[in-house]
C-alpha cells in the first residue's frame, strides 16, 4: 500500500476475514465484508486485507471484486503460493499480494513462509506477480535468512509474523516478549537497510500493538481477528479508530 502514505508513515491494513467467517457460519449474506470495508475506509483505515484460503473459510472468490469496487482503499490479498491463487491474483490485480504458508488443518496462519527453503518455486511465482504490477509481500519470520531470501526473490515487501510475540504476551512471558521485540526490530532494520519495506501482523491487540508500532522501520500493520472481535463490543468504527490512535500514540 505505497500510494496511501500515512502522515507518520505507519499504515493500518484491516483484515476483514472474520466478518466473512461470521457470514459463512449461516451461509447467507450477512454480515457483508464489503460493508466492513466501507466503514474501515470512512474511519481512515489505510487498506483492506483479506485471505482467500484454499477452503474459502473466510472470503470467497466473488468477494474479491466486490471489495475492490467498494472503496478506493488498496486491497492486500493474502494467498498461498499455488497456481490457483496466482491465476486469481493475475485476474483481479489487487494492489498487493501477501504470500503466506497455508496448511489446510490450521486454525490460522501459524508460522512464516519458508522463503529460503522454497526459493526455486517462489522465484518465478514472485516474478509473475511483479510483472503484473502487484506489490508482493512475503509473510516471514523475523529471521535474517528469510530476509536474505526475500531480497534474492526480488520481493519489495516482507511482513513479519508477530504471532510468537503476541503469544508470549498472552502467556505473561515478559522475557519472551522482549526477545521477540528485539528480533522483530532487528529484522525491520535489516530489511529497511536493504531497501525492503517492512510490515508486521498477527495476534496484535490494543494491549500489545504499541511496541510493534514504535519500530520506526515498520511501515504497515495488518490486523484482523482482534479488531473484528472488539467490533462486537465497540462497533467497527470505534474498534478501528482506537487501534489507529494507539498506533499514532506509539509512533
| Positions that interact with ligand PXP (CB under 6 A) | 15, 17, 51, 78, 98, 100, 108-109, 139, 159, 201-204, 222-226
The minimum distance between CB 163 and ligand PXP, in angstroms, equals 7
The minimum distance between CB 174 and ligand PXP, in angstroms, equals 21
Dist CA 198 CA 126 (whole Å): 17
- Measured between alpha carbons, how far apart are the two ends of the chain, in Å? 19
Number of neighbouring beta carbons within 10 Å of residue 172: 8
CA angle 21, 26, 29 (to 5 degrees): 75
From 51, 58, 161, 199, the catalytic residue: 51
Closer to ligand PXP at the Cβ: 11 or 51? 51
Q: Which three cell numbers stand for residue 63?
A: 468477494
- Give the SS3 label for residue 51: strand
Closer to ligand PXP at the Cβ: 20 or 98? 98
Q: Which three cell numbers stand for residue 23?
A: 457470514
78 is catalytic: yes
Dist CA 223 CA 16 (whole Å): 9
- Residue pair 201/223 in contact (Cβ under 8 Å)? The answer is yes
Q: Among candidates 236, 177, 233, 237, which has minimal Cα distance to 207? A: 177
From 18, 102, 202, 220, the catalytic residue: 202
Dist CA 91 CA 145 (whole Å): 32
The minimum distance between CB 16 and ligand PXP, in angstroms, equals 10
The minimum distance between CB 203 and ligand PXP, in angstroms, equals 5
202 is catalytic: yes
87 is catalytic: no
Closer to ligand PXP at the Cβ: 71 or 222? 222
Closer to ligand PXP at the Cβ: 4 or 205? 205
Task: Please identify every residue annotated as catalytic.
Answer: 51, 78, 202
Amino acid at each position: 500500500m505505497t500510494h496511501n502514505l500515512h502522515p507518520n508513515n505507519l499504515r493500518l491494513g484491516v483484515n476483514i476475514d472474520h466478518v466473512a467467517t461470521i457470514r459463512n457460519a449461516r451461509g447467507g449474506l450477512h454480515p457483508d465484508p464489503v460493508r466492513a470495508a466501507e466503514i474501515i475506509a470512512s474511519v481512515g483505515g489505510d487498506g483492506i486485507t483479506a485471505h482467500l484460503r484454499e477452503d474459502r473459510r473466510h472470503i470467497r472468490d466473488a468477494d474479491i471484486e466486490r471489495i475492490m469496487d467498494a472503496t478506493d482503499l488498496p486491497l492486500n490479498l493474502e494467498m498461498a503460493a499455488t497456481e490457483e491463487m496466482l491465476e486469481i491474483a493475475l485476474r483481479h490485480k489487487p494492489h498487493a499480494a501477501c504470500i503466506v504458508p497455508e496448511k489446510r488443518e490450521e486454525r490460522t496462519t501459524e508460522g512464516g513462509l519458508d522463503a529460503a527453503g522454497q526459493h526455486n518455486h517462489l522465484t518465478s511465482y514472485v516474478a509473475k506477480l511483479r510483472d503484473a504490477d502487484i506489490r508482493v509481500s512475503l509473510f516471514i519470520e523475523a529471521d535474517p535468512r528469510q530476509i536474505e531470501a526475500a531480497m534474492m526473490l526480488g520481493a519489495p515487501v516482507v511482513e513479519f509474523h508477530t504471532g510468537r510475540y503476541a503469544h508470549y504476551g498472552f502467556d505473561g512471558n515478559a522475557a519472551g516478549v522482549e526477545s521477540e521485540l528485539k528480533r522483530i526490530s532487528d529484522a525491520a532494520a535489516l530489511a529497511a537497510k536493504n531497501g525492503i519495506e517492512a510490515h508486521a501482523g498477527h495476534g496484535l491487540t490494543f494491549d500489545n500493538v504499541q511496541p510493534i508500532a514504535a519500530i520506526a522501520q515498520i511501515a504497515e500493520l495488518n490486523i484482523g481477528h482482534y479488531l473484528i472481535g472488539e467490533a462486537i463490543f465497540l462497533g467497527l468504527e470505534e474498534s478501528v479508530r482506537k487501534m489507529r490512535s494507539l498506533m499514532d500514540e506509539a509512533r
